Amino acid sequence: MEDIILNAQSLKSVIHCGAGAFATYATKLGGKLFIITDSNVYALYKGLIEKTFGNAPTFVLPAGEKSKSRNSLFKIFDKMIDCGVTRSSTVVALGGGVVGDIAGLAASMYMRGIKVVQIPTTLLAQVDSSVGGKTAIDYKGVKNVLGAFYQPSEVIVDPLFLSTLPARELRCGLGEIIKYSAIDCGIYGTLSQNSDKLFDLKFLENVTADCIRHKAKVVTEDERDTTGARKTLNLGHTTGHAFELYYKRKSHGEFVLIGTYYELYIAEKKGICESCYADSLRALITKVIKNIPAYADAEKAALMAKFDKKNDEQSIVSMIVPKSVGESYELKLPIAEYAKLIGECAEKIRGEKC
Ligand code: ADP
Ligand code: ZN
């Protein structure tokens, strides 16, 4: 077990990481607790929740992204008020990214902000969304459009929860982990030397701590995403988000992998990334998603990138692409050129499949 400190300007956050973290730290949470979880996690861990948190009030969201809504947020507030949650109470977010995002936002707003402890139960939430204080709900069809930066006082990351995670959810977490490998040379080394262990939970436990250490450092430097350091965490996300908006069927982590694969083509074409390094990243990606989709309308889908929050203007697309081991580069391209290159990449993948 290891404690990683995220020294944000707004709050110092402690991330307890490793096997046994839940048994050690969740039982020590003091004061009045208000638990927020989802229906899947509750069904699997009801016994553990009751044993650990006694009769603390528990709000169970229906599992799935649809729960990140105004409606659910206000249902949470109703229960918090009904249960007499006070300014000295603590919200405990026990679940994946959906639970973490909405519970974090509820905690940030309730009585102008009460403590929140994140206990992520998916690999994706462990390596990414539970750390860094981004909270949000979706509104009017726009993902994460209403939210706040609100640091958890503690994050408890325990591999205990990963044993029940479906393989697809592991793949989603691996999407973000491979992203880290493209911006952190230590993680790149670990993954490329152990690419046969990507689905091994013991191996993932150590890599998870590496990813959290990386993210904690970046967020400590750039808590509110203003200086550029935090931008690097968006590697692969420009195209990933564009495809996510257009095709919808896959989940975020899978689209991050597909987005990185397509952007590697652009980075190579533009002379930013060397071929052998691009090949080694592609090899990692295809360990997780064997068949990268050769989308027939990729060029059209890529135009969705104009809605990306990172762009200052809609005609220019900004993306963080791999450059060399441990180094990324912010590439800005006119949207038409970007979409054409994405179309070319799809064509190339089609050709390789024949
Ligand atoms: P994210 O991938 O952002 O963490 P979700 O919060 O939607 O997204 O979680 C993905 C799915 O995994 C949801 O259906 C959720 O209920 C389920 N889930 C979360 N934690 C576990 C777990 N430890 N075991 C099994 N399923 C889980
Ligand atoms: Zn992401």
Instruction: Tell me the average pLDDT across 160-182.
Output: 97
What three-state secondary structure class fits 47?
helix
Q: Find the 278 Cα to ligand 1 centroid distance in Å.
A: 31
- Does the pLDDT of residue 262 top 70, yes or no? yes
- Does the pLDDT of residue 308 top 80, yes or no? no
> CA dist 335 to 63, 156, 328, Å?
36, 41, 20
List pLDDT tens digits, range 332-346.
Answer: 999 999 999 999 999
Q: Find the 96 Cα to ligand 1 centroid distance in Å.
A: 5
Instruction: Tell me the average pLDDT across 308-313.
Output: 70
State what percent of residues in the chain have pLDDT above 70. Answer: 99
- Does the pLDDT of residue 311 top 80, yes or no? no
Q: Which ligand is nearest to the CA of 122?
A: 1
- Does the pLDDT of residue 300 top 90, yes or no? yes
pLDDT band at 84 (very low <50, low <70, confident <90, very high): very high
Q: Is the CB of 98 under 6 A from ligand 1?
A: yes
Task: Give, for ligand 1, the residue of 39, 99, 121 to mutate: max count of ligand atoms closer than 8 Å to Cβ.
Answer: 121
pLDDT band at 100 (very low <50, low <70, confident <90, very high): very high
Instruction: Tell me the average pLDDT across 46-73.
Output: 97
Backbone angles phi, psi at 103, to 5 degrees: -65, -40
Instruction: Tell me the average pLDDT across 155-179.
Output: 97
Q: How many CB atoms lie within 10 A of CB 127?
A: 28
Q: Among residues 187, 320, 338, which one has the least CA distance to residue 260? A: 320
Q: Is the CB of 41 under 6 A from ligand 1?
A: yes
- Does the pLDDT of residue 271 top 80, yes or no? yes
Distance CA 17, CA 28 (A): 15
Q: What is the mean pLDDT of the chain?
A: 95
Q: Is the CB of 254 under 6 A from ligand 1?
A: no
- Does the pLDDT of residue 320 top 90, yes or no? yes
Q: Is the CB of 38 under 6 A from ligand 1?
A: yes
Q: Find the 121 Cα to ligand 1 centroid distance in Å.
A: 7
Domains of the chain: 2-164 (3.40.50.1970), 167-353 (1.20.1090.10)
pLDDT band at 30 (very low <50, low <70, confident <90, very high): confident
